[in-house]
């Protein structure tokens, strides 16, 4: 009997072990060993509060986590480190947003992620003397944080006034590990309320100065021991201008979650981001199988891949919120009048450009708002026509006279310099077409293709007349203050067109604080009209997110929101598994 | 007899090609609106050669043939002046050093000191101050020249050899790229750069020829007759070294064209709308399958360089 029982036990155990092995090996084989992504440029910084470009943001979202994150395919914010969306409570002048952190969430040293870490992160984001202006402005409505004495994972953000966006914006910042970034607990001596209140005297305190010195040490933001959050991936190496390599942590808190779904899955074991500035080289590398993912492909290359290699790649082109714009430096003496700026806008043949560079996939727009967002897009404004004759008339209206040397007026010559990132085919096509149209009316536009880093510097210093660039939007928030408010001009701000006046500032503020959707739409229409008339930037067209992914990968989850795919969710398709 | 005919035909062909390139360049200079401006037609992007576009179009919709013709403008306004300047600089330096050697060129000690100090300071200070330092050197040198002082020999030959060795030790392209980064794109700056980096070959040749000629009896006789140094150089030495020097200009032109095209290929020196064969080749990188772009720019470039070599003065053979 005992022998029979032992035999049954042995068989049962074998079955269990066999099942466990088969399920583990199946899970293992579905997880790609490595995914190689093509980037056109370097992330420039891995400092979690600086984030100079979309690539830095993408890396940051793999290394660190925030309370909420955007689910691209669902086109909405979803909880990430938080268990749920915040509970909202309002009083006369304050809004209370209560969050609960996931009980499973831990740092790499095994300590749980607590409300105190959120407080530390807010202190870093508002600490003076750090390169945190952008995040600080985004979270400027947070006035205080109330901790729950009973529950260390529960806290409430106390916010000034109310705006519907607070519910999502309040959870969209990286939660940082205090034990790594402030091992001496320097910021614990500094009250959060004073930091959130913008108390500038704090910059002179010893604790803040010591923290600034430590945090601003650029070398540490390349050190894998420091650049480490609660995300599933850790930094392995960053060779500037060449590649960034991340590896999945052998032990990540998300592994313990049952039935985990995006954004709490991390399948690929290694992520490699290769910087390939030349599009032709990138296309060649994709064809040779040296790269797996090529997001935001140039239109002609995407069409070529569709024609010749569609058997080897998944090809997606969802409509995105990326808009190609021409910024006008409104503080340059020659470009101060709106009619001069309008004239320059009329020299861009956006319809032809879109046909040539987007192959019928893009969409023209009168403003920075995507026409697909019909509820806010001001469709009564006409698309700006391409008309050199009208442009010449507008220049005359602004006081310019056409002479043998070009357009001049009292001691001024109109010879705008058009800057753009060197090597970008779309920008170069736009620039050449604009120059050609300007030549028709005797206007000299000098083209200045510039290296991306140098261009950022020139734009920051206001040393440009016109500049071509791509803006990344989303459908969640219409807070355009960072781009257009006078408070964002100069040090720390990103209002590079230097546009703005009291009326436009009031309008921008009102748009953010308005709760009533009808009123909000009315204000947004008004803003679009102001921008259309004042023309601080000319929206040329919205680009689709042209994405090519090697056929062996599945669960790509393409979307129109940056980065346009869900790298953590990638799986190997059955046919490609070893 | 047959070989002779082929060589002759080759020279005629080379001359005809260069004449054609020269005419095209003149057209771009005389009628820039028609020949220098290449129309961008974004609805005709990367079209293969056809009856409408004989050499096809590039990824920006520009006609490649028109682009190639417009590219000759750079040869005439950039490469040719650079080659002339290079040859002139090489001949002057080579002839001066070949004549004076290390001991025969003498200058007042104080004047030399002031000029040398200004030269060192000019190198250390920002490039924009260069004209001021040249003026300071001239003024300072002139002022101190009135003071009674001893003359010292300038080691001109050693200085030239050192400069040639220095320029030879740094890869030319690297040097030009470094210098080009100092200044924004401009034709005159680029001509200066090419001349500054390409003169050593000519200078070395002229120096050797002049030193050799100075050993000849008729030159010694000229000196014995009491003719001045300059007169001997101009009337007796240079005419006798002219034969090898005739080859210097076409060779310098070929070098300057190659270097300027390389710079344009790398996107250095010229504004982006200006056509150049190097830039046409660079644009081919955007559309690797557009063979007509590579062919359209590479064939004229190779043909021009080849033609310049074919037309080099033939070495005279004595029977």
What token pair was written down for A217? 């040490």
Query: Is the same domain home to A301 and A177?
Result: no
pLDDT at B301: 95
Of A279, A422, A429, the CB nearest to B42: A429
pLDDT at A11: 47
3-state percent breakdown (helix, strand, coil) of chain B, nearest 5 = 75, 5, 25
Mean pLDDT of chain A: 89
* Residue in chain A lying closest to B286 (CA): A280
Q: Assess whether pLDDT exceeds 80 at residue B244.
A: no
Confirm whether A238 is domain-assigned.
Answer: yes
Query: Is the same domain home to A337 and A450?
Result: yes
| Between A59 and A93, the higher pLDDT residue | A59
* Collapsed DSSP state (helix, strand, coil) of residue A156: strand
Of A281, A355, A432, the CB nearest to B40: A432
d(CA A349, CA B27): 30
* Gap from A344 CA to chain B (nearest CA, Å): 18
d(CA B183, CA B176): 11
pLDDT at B315: 58
Partner residues linked to A270 by β-bridges: A247
Q: Assess whether pLDDT exceeds 70 at residue B3.
A: no
Confirm whether A211 is domain-assigned.
Answer: yes
Q: Assess whether pLDDT exceeds 80 at residue A515.
A: no
* Residue in chain B lying closest to A352 (CA): B42
Which percentage of chain B shows pLDDT scores above 90?
40
| Between A126 and B130, the higher pLDDT residue | A126
Inter-chain CB proximity A355 and B43 less than 8 Å: yes
pLDDT at B318: 44
Q: Assess whether pLDDT exceeds 80 at residue B313.
A: no
d(CA A27, CA B184): 57
Of B45, B267, B289, the CB nearest to A356: B45
d(CA A38, CA A297): 10
For Cα atoms B184, B187, B188, give the angle at the middle one, nearest 5 degrees.
Answer: 95
- Residue A230 is classified by DSSP as S
Burial string for B123-157 (b: 16+ CB within 10 Å, else e) reads: eeeeeeeeeebeebbeebbeebeeeeeeeeebbbb
How many CB atoms within 10 Å of residue A404?
6
> What is the number of helices (H) and of strands (E) in chain B?
16, 2
pLDDT at B272: 79
What token pair was written down for A467? 């500049």
Query: Is the same domain home to A313 and A326?
Result: no
d(CA B302, CA B258): 9
Which chain B positions have a beta carbon within 8 Å of A422's beta carbon?
267
Mutant choice from B267, B286, B293 vs A, greatest count of A C-beta within 10 A: B286
The sheet with strand A401-403 has its strands ordered as A401-403, A406-409, A412-414
* Collapsed DSSP state (helix, strand, coil) of residue A512: helix
Q: Are strands A313-316 and A319-328 parallel, antiparallel or unpaired?
A: unpaired
Instruction: Compute CA distances A174 → A52, A205, A280, whole Å.
Output: 15, 25, 35
Which chain B positions have a beta carbon within 8 Å of A425's beta carbon?
59, 286
Partner residues linked to A470 by β-bridges: A324
Size of interface A-B (CB pairs under 8 A): 49
Domains of chain B in start order, with CATH, are 2-105+154-300 (1.10.3720.10)
Confirm whether A59 is domain-assigned.
Answer: no
Q: Which domain holds residue A569?
A: 231-318+545-576
CATH number at residue A195: 3.90.76.10
Q: How far apart are the first and last CA of chain B?
A: 17
In this complex, is the C-beta atom of A88 within 8 Å of any C-beta atom belonging to chain B? no
Return phi, psi of residue B13, to 5°.
Answer: -65, -45
Q: What is the DSSP string of A334-391?
A: GG-SHHHHHHHHTT--HHHHHHHHHTT--B--SSSS-TT-TTT--TTSPPPP--HHHH
Query: Is the same domain home to A283 and A188?
Result: no
Predicted confidence (pLDDT) per residue in B144-176, tens digit: 888 888 888 888 889 899 999 988 888 888 888
Of A281, A284, A429, the CB nearest to B60: A429
Instruction: Compute CA distances B251 → B93, B163, B238, whole Å.
Output: 18, 21, 19
E-strand stretches of A104-148: 142-147
- Residue B313 is classified by DSSP as P
pLDDT at B29: 93
Query: What would the mean pLDDT of A397-410 be, rounded to a whole number?
Result: 92
Query: What would the mean pLDDT of A179-207 be, rounded to a whole number?
Result: 90
How many CB atoms within 10 Å of residue A260?
13
d(CA A121, CA A390): 53
Q: Assess whether pLDDT exceeds 90 at residue A482.
A: no
Inter-chain CB proximity B42 and A422 less than 8 Å: no
Which H helix or E strand runs over A179?
helix A178-181
pLDDT at B2: 55
Instruction: Compute CA distances A172 → A98, A169, B120, whole Å.
Output: 14, 5, 57
Query: Is the same domain home to A146 and A294?
Result: no
- pLDDT category at B4 given cuts 50, 70, 90 is low
d(CA A320, CA A363): 10
Q: Name the H helices within B57-169.
A: 64-74, 80-100, 109-124, 130-144, 156-169
Mutant choice from B39, B40, B264, B291 vs A, greatest count of A C-beta within 10 A: B40
Q: Which of A294, A289, A350 is nearest to A317 (CA)?
A: A294
pLDDT at A387: 96
Burial tier of A240 (Cβ tally within 10 Å: 0-12, 13-18, 19+): exposed
pLDDT at A153: 96
Predicted confidence (pLDDT) per residue in B14-39, tens digit: 999 999 999 999 999 999 988 999 99
The answer to whether residues A208 and A190 touch, using CB atoms and an 8 Å cutoff, is yes
Q: Assess whether pLDDT exceeds 70 at residue A10.
A: no
d(CA B113, CA B107): 10
Which chain A positions have a beta carbon within 8 Å of B177's beta carbon?
none
pLDDT at A32: 81
CATH number at residue A423: 3.10.105.10
Query: Is the same domain home to A269 and A146?
Result: no
In this complex, is the C-beta atom of A383 within 8 Å of any C-beta atom belonging to chain B? no
pLDDT at A492: 67
E-strand stretches of chain B: 106-108, 151-153
Q: Which of A153, A167, A156 is nearest to A96 (CA)?
A: A156
CATH number at residue A283: 3.40.190.10
Query: What would the mean pLDDT of A22-31 be, rounded to a whole number?
Result: 50
Query: Is the same domain home to A562 and A515?
Result: no
What token pair was written down for A41? 């440029």
* Gap from A280 CA to chain B (nearest CA, Å): 5
Query: Is the same domain home to A183 and A270?
Result: no
pLDDT at A496: 93
Which percentage of chain A shows pLDDT scores above 90?
66
Of A284, A356, A422, the CB nearest to B42: A356
The answer to whether residues A193 and A155 touch, using CB atoms and an 8 Å cutoff, is no
Please tell me whether the peptide bond between A562 and the residue prior to it is cis, using omega within 30 degrees of 0. Answer: no
Confirm whether A2 is domain-assigned.
Answer: no
* Collapsed DSSP state (helix, strand, coil) of residue B192: helix
Confirm whether A274 is domain-assigned.
Answer: yes
Inter-chain CB proximity A432 and B285 less than 8 Å: no
d(CA A139, CA A133): 10
d(CA B95, CA B211): 9
Please tell me whether the peptide bond between A263 and the residue prior to it is cis, using omega within 30 degrees of 0. Answer: yes
Query: Is the same domain home to A178 and A253?
Result: no
The answer to whether residues A432 and A447 touch, using CB atoms and an 8 Å cutoff, is yes
Partner residues linked to A328 by β-bridges: A466
d(CA B298, CA B278): 9
Q: Assess whether pLDDT exceeds 90 at residue A124.
A: yes
Query: Is the same domain home to A282 and A377?
Result: no
d(CA B17, CA B303): 8
Inter-chain CB proximity B39 and A447 less than 8 Å: no
Inter-chain CB proximity B60 and A304 less than 8 Å: no
Confirm whether A11 is domain-assigned.
Answer: no
Lowest mean pLDDT of A50-59, A92-101, A414-423, B301-310, name the range.
Answer: A50-59
Confirm whether A226 is domain-assigned.
Answer: no
* Residue in chain B lying closest to A355 (CA): B43
The sheet with strand A466-472 has its strands ordered as A446-450, A417-421, A466-472, A319-328, A537-544
Q: Which of B295, B301, B297 is nearest to B254 (CA)?
A: B301
- Chain length of chain B: 319
Of B39, B43, B285, the CB nearest to A356: B43
Q: Assess whether pLDDT exceeds 60 at residue A4.
A: no
- pLDDT category at A577 given cuts 50, 70, 90 is low
The answer to whether residues B255 and B90 touch, using CB atoms and an 8 Å cutoff, is no
Predicted confidence (pLDDT) per residue in A404-447, tens digit: 889 999 889 999 999 998 888 899 999 999 999 999 999 999 99
Q: How far apart are the first and last CA of chain A?
A: 44
Q: What are the residues whose beta carbons fall under 8 Å from the beta carbon of B211, sequence distance 6 or more?
A: B98, B101
Query: Is the same domain home to A236 and A128?
Result: no
Which chain A positions have a beta carbon within 8 Å of B271's beta carbon?
446-447
Inter-chain CB proximity A432 and B286 less than 8 Å: no
Which chain A positions have a beta carbon within 8 Å of B45's beta carbon?
300, 356
The answer to whether residues B66 and B296 touch, using CB atoms and an 8 Å cutoff, is no
Query: What would the mean pLDDT of B258-279 be, rounded to a whole number?
Result: 86
Predicted confidence (pLDDT) per residue in A112-122, tens digit: 999 999 999 99
Which chain A positions have a beta carbon within 8 Å of B286's beta carbon?
279-280, 300, 425
Q: Assess whether pLDDT exceeds 90 at residue B203.
A: yes
Q: What are the residues whose beta carbons fall under 8 Å from the beta carbon of B44, sequence distance 6 or more?
A: B53, B57, B61
Of B43, B272, B286, the CB nearest to A279: B286
pLDDT at B123: 77
Instruction: Compute CA distances A468 → A442, A541, B138, B261, whole Å.
Output: 22, 12, 47, 28
pLDDT at B287: 85
d(CA A170, CA A92): 19
Predicted confidence (pLDDT) per residue in B56-108, tens digit: 999 999 999 999 999 999 999 999 999 999 999 999 999 889 888 888 778 88
The answer to whether residues A499 and A536 touch, using CB atoms and an 8 Å cutoff, is yes
Which chain B positions have a beta carbon within 8 Å of A352's beta carbon?
42-43
- Residue B63 is classified by DSSP as B
Give the number of domains in chain A.
3
Stretch 406-435 of chain A: residues touching chain B, C-beta under 8 Å:
422, 425, 428-429, 431-433, 435
Query: Is the same domain home to A282 and A327?
Result: no
Stretch 62-81 of chain A: residues touching chain B, C-beta under 8 Å:
none
* Collapsed DSSP state (helix, strand, coil) of residue A548: strand
Inter-chain CB proximity B42 and A279 less than 8 Å: no
* Collapsed DSSP state (helix, strand, coil) of residue A7: helix
The answer to whether residues A349 and A433 touch, using CB atoms and an 8 Å cutoff, is yes
pLDDT at A7: 47
Inter-chain CB proximity A449 and B40 less than 8 Å: no
Confirm whether A223 is domain-assigned.
Answer: no
Query: What would the mean pLDDT of A303-328 be, rounded to a whole number?
Result: 92
d(CA B249, CA B85): 10
Which percentage of chain B shows pLDDT scores above 70?
96
């Amino acid at each position: 009997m005992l022998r029979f029982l032992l035999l049954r036990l042995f068989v049962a155990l074998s079955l269990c072990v066999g099942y466990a092995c088969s399920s583990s090996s199946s899970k293992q084989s579905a997880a790609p060993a490595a995914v190689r992504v093509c980037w056109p440029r370097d992330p420039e910084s891995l400092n979690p509060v600086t984030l100079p470009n979309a690539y830095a943001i993408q890396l940051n979202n793999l290394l660190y986590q925030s309370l909420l994150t955007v689910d691209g395919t669902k086109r909405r914010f979803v909880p990430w480190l938080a268990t749920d969306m915040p509970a909202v409570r309002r009083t006369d002048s304050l809004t209370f947003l209560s969050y609960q952190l996931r009980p499973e969430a831990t740092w790499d040293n095994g300590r749980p992620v607590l409300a105190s870490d959120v407080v530390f992160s807010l202190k870093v984001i508002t600490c003076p003397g750090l390169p945190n202006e952008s995040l600080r402005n985004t979270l400027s409505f947070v006035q205080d944080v109330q901790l729950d004495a009973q529950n260390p994972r529960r806290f409430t953000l106390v916010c000034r006034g109310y705006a519907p966006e607070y519910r999502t914006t309040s959870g969209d910042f990286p939660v940082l590990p205090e034990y790594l970034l402030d091992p001496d607990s320097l910021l614990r001596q500094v009250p959060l309320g004073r930091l959130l209140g913008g108390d500038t005297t704090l910059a002179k305190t010893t604790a803040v100065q010591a923290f600034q010195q430590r945090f601003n040490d650029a070398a540490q933001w390349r050190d894998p021991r420091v650049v480490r959050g609660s995300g599933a991936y850790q930094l392995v190496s960053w060779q500037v201008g060449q590649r960034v390599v991340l590896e999945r942590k052998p032990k990540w808190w998300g592994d313990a979650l049952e039935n985990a779904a995006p954004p709490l899955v991390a399948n690929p074991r290694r992520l490699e981001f290769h910087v390939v500035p030349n599009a032709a080289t990138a296309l060649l590398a994709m064809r040779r199988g040296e790269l797996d993912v090529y997001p935001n492909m140039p239109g002609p290359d995407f069409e070529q891949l569709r024609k010749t290699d569609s058997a080897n790649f998944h090809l997606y082109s969802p409509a995105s919120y990326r808009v190609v714009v021409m910024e006008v430096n409104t503080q340059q003496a020659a470009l101060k009048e709106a009619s001069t700026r309008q004239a320059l806008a009329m020299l861009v043949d956006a319809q032809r450009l879109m046909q040539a560079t987007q192959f019928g996939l893009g969409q023209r727009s009168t403003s920075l708002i995507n026409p697909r967002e019909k509820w806010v897009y001001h469709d009564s404004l006409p698309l700006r026509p391409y008309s050199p004759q009208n442009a010449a008339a507008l220049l005359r209206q602004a006081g310019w006279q056409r002479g043998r040397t070009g357009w001049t007026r009292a001691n001024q010559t109109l010879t705008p310099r058009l800057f753009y990132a060197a090597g970008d085919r779309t920008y170069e096509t736009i620039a050449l077409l604009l120059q050609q149209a300007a030549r028709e009316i005797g206007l000299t536009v000098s083209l200045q293709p510039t290296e991306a880093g140098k261009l950022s510097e020139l734009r920051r210093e206001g040393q440009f007349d016109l500049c071509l660039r791509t803006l990344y939007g989303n459908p969640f928030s219409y807070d355009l203050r960072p781009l257009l408010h006078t408070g964002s001009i100069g040090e720390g701000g990103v209002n590079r067109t230097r546009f703005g006046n009291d009326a436009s500032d009031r309008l921008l503020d009102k748009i953010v604080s308005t709760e009533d959707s009808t009123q909000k739409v009315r204000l947004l229409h008004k803003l679009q009209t102001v921008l259309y008339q004042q023309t601080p930037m000319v929206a040329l067209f919205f680009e689709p997110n042209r994405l090519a992914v090697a056929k062996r990968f599945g669960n790509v989850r393409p979307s129109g929101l940056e980065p346009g795919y869900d790298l953590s969710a990638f799986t190997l398709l059955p046919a490609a598994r070893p | 007899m047959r070989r002779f005919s082929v060589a002759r035909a080759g020279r005629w062909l080379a001359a005809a090609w260069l004449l054609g390139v020269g005419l095209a360049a003149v057209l771009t200079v005389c009628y820039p609106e028609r020949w220098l401006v290449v129309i961008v037609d974004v609805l005709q992007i990367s079209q293969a050669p056809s009856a409408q576009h004989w050499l096809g179009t590039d990824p920006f919709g520009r006609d490649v043939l028109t682009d190639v013709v417009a590219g000759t403008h750079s040869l005439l306004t950039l490469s040719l002046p650079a080659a002339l300047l290079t040859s002139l600089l090489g001949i002057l330096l080579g002839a001066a050093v070949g004549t004076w050697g290390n001991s025969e060129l003498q200058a007042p000690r104080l004047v030399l000191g002031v000029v040398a100090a200004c030269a060192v300071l000019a190198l250390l200070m920002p490039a924009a101050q260069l004209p001021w330092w040249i003026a300071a050197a001239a003024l300072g040198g002139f002022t101190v020249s009135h003071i009674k002082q001893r003359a010292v020999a300038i080691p001109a030959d050693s200085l030239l050899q050192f400069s040639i060795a220095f320029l030879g030790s740094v890869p030319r392209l690297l040097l030009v790229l470094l210098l080009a980064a100092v200044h924004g794109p401009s034709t005159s700056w680029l001509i200066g750069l090419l001349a500054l980096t390409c003169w050593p070959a000519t200078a070395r040749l002229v120096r050797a020829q002049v030193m050799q000629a100075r050993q000849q009896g008729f030159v010694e006789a000229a000196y014995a007759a009491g003719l001045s140094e300059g007169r001997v150089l101009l009337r007796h030495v240079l005419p006798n070294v002219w034969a090898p020097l005739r080859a210097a200009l076409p060779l310098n032109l070929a070098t300057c064209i190659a270097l300027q095209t390389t710079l344009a290929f790398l996107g250095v020196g010229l504004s982006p709308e200006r056509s150049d064969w190097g830039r046409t080749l660079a644009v081919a990188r955007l559309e690797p399958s557009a063979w007509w772009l590579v062919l359209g720019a590479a064939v004229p470039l190779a043909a021009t360089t080849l033609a310049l070599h074919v037309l080099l003065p033939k070495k005279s053979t004595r029977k």
